[in-house]
Amino acid sequence: MTKFSKLSEQLLKGIGGLSNITYITHCATRLRVSYRNKELLKMELLENLPNSSGIIALAGTVQIIIGTDVHDAYNEFLEYTGWTESENSEGIVTESEESQSYEKRDFQYYLLKFSNFIAPIFMPIIPALITGGMILAIKNLLVNYFGVSIDSGTAQWMLNIFDAAFKFLPIYIGYTMAQQLKMQPIMGAMLGAVLISPTFENGLIPDIFGLLVPQVSYRSTILPVILGVALMYFVDKGLKKVLPKTLSYFLKPLLTMIIVTPVVLILLAPAGNLLSGYVADFVLWVSNTLGIIALPLLSMIYPYMVMFGLDKGLHPIALELLDKLGYNPVTIVIGFISNICIGATTLALAFSMKDKAQKATAVSSGITALCGVTEPAFYGQLISHPKCMIGHAVGALCAGLFAGFFHLKTFVHGGCPGWLTLLFFVDQNGNINYVLIAIVAALIGMIVSFFATCIILRREGKLENNKKFSNEVIN
């Protein structure tokens, strides 16, 4: 019996059996199981799953909070239930097209659907982005502070790793998006490769069928390939209906590329690139004019953005900002501040606990949150102590104000921002000014969150003691 055997068994019973499952996936810390009929859920079983920090049931999906072992839990649940992954997939299981959710399709439902669609596109590439970003930061430090020549083999080797992670993003995104849309992933990757091929980048395709092709570089971009794969989905679907099955294997990919690539190169990719520029300009305007207000407010509500999956929607914005501006003044910064404050708040809660086992669990969750993974702390500890989130909000407000005043920004993209990802704040020249600002902001957030939470818990304890005393006097 393995670690997640009991969880798999109980989860399958709690979800209403195999026939009630429509979709299975996972993010960095949560196993997500979508269902057909809410009436079949057994909440008592789901709320008491072993090796879980809790669940969130929203709009047709049960999210089971596992932690960093989520991939093991995911694989074991797939094996136990008999589900099979789509070919070469990264945590995506085919959903029956006939499946229908019996839940009300309100705003929350579509919000979660959007999150479930975005997550499998971006989450598989996050490890590569973290690796590439950290390597670039290390390279910049070595060149600027340790005498390594920018032209040396060592520096160029590190730059090569960074380029592999970021400059080929259209290929990675094309692959994962095609996979998410249940097409052949390699065709999405091929479309991404068309956008960054040397033939196109060197200006050797001035026109197609006499129509002018805008000469734009699409390396490191996101939106152009997303629009292209979206068009490919509809073309692929249409060809599937009209082509004989005997010829489909050979003709469908060929005709798809012949139809899609001209439209993408002439129209969709330039439009996507233009739209990306507008998004970057808007975020830059918000940062410059409202940064001192926006950063603290967004840092305060960030845990709830994670709860509803809105943080997944920040990945494309962050990558576009890095591509257009060379830095990101918002998305990673608010996650960094919020995660640090969640960790400090949880440690303050642990400080107030008397039970040794509970204290040890809370301390472990708090330290994990300081390192960037907040689900065990937020769902396992703070959700059941909602007043503690006031302490988090106060700390995030103070740290966010400081970060906004000094225009804190990151220069690479990745996930789980915390004390272990300070290299995200090293700029292209290897300067550590923003690292120092990040450290001060984090310390402000930690100290304020910790003591604010301690004061709240002490006040709450005094009120409870007064109530007990009053009841004893009355009795």
Domain spans of the chain, in order of start:
5-105, 124-286, 294-474
Query: What average pLDDT is seen over the chain?
Result: 84
Which residues are identified as catalytic? Answer: 27
Q: Which residues face 62 on adjacent strands?
A: 33, 57
pLDDT tens digit sequence for 113-166 = 777 777 778 878 888 888 888 888 888 888 888 888 988 999 999 999 989 988
pLDDT tens digit sequence for 207-255 = 999 999 999 889 888 899 999 999 999 999 999 999 998 888 889 999 9
Answer yes or no: is pLDDT of 463 > 70.
Answer: no
Answer yes or no: is pLDDT of 63 > 90.
Answer: no
Question: In the block, which residue shows the tokens 């840092």?
Answer: 299
Query: What is the average per-residue pLDDT within 454-459?
Result: 90
pLDDT tens digit sequence for 414-451 = 778 899 889 899 988 888 999 999 999 999 999 999 99
Are 176 and 90 within 8 A, CB to CB?
yes
List, in order, residues 6 or more apart from 225 with CB less than 8 Å away. Answer: 169, 170, 173, 174, 177, 188, 191, 192, 195, 218, 269, 272
Q: Which two tokens stand for residue 3?
A: 């670690």
pLDDT above 70 covers a percentage of the chain that reads 89
Query: What is the average per-residue pLDDT within 268-276?
Result: 91
pLDDT tens digit sequence for 304-330 = 887 766 677 788 888 888 888 889 998
More confident of the two residues 395 and 382? 395
pLDDT at 93: 41
Q: For helices 185-196 and 169-180, what crossing angle results, to 10°?
A: 150
Binned at pLDDT 50, 70 and 90, residue 402 comes out as very high
Answer yes or no: is pLDDT of 88 > 60.
Answer: no
Quote the Cα angle for 88-93-99, to 5°: 145
More confident of the two residues 271 and 319? 271
Q: Which fold does the domain 5-105 belong to in CATH?
A: Gyrase A; domain 2 (3.30.1360)
Provide the CA 418 distance to its chain's centre, in angstroms: 14
Are 214 and 251 within 8 A, CB to CB?
no
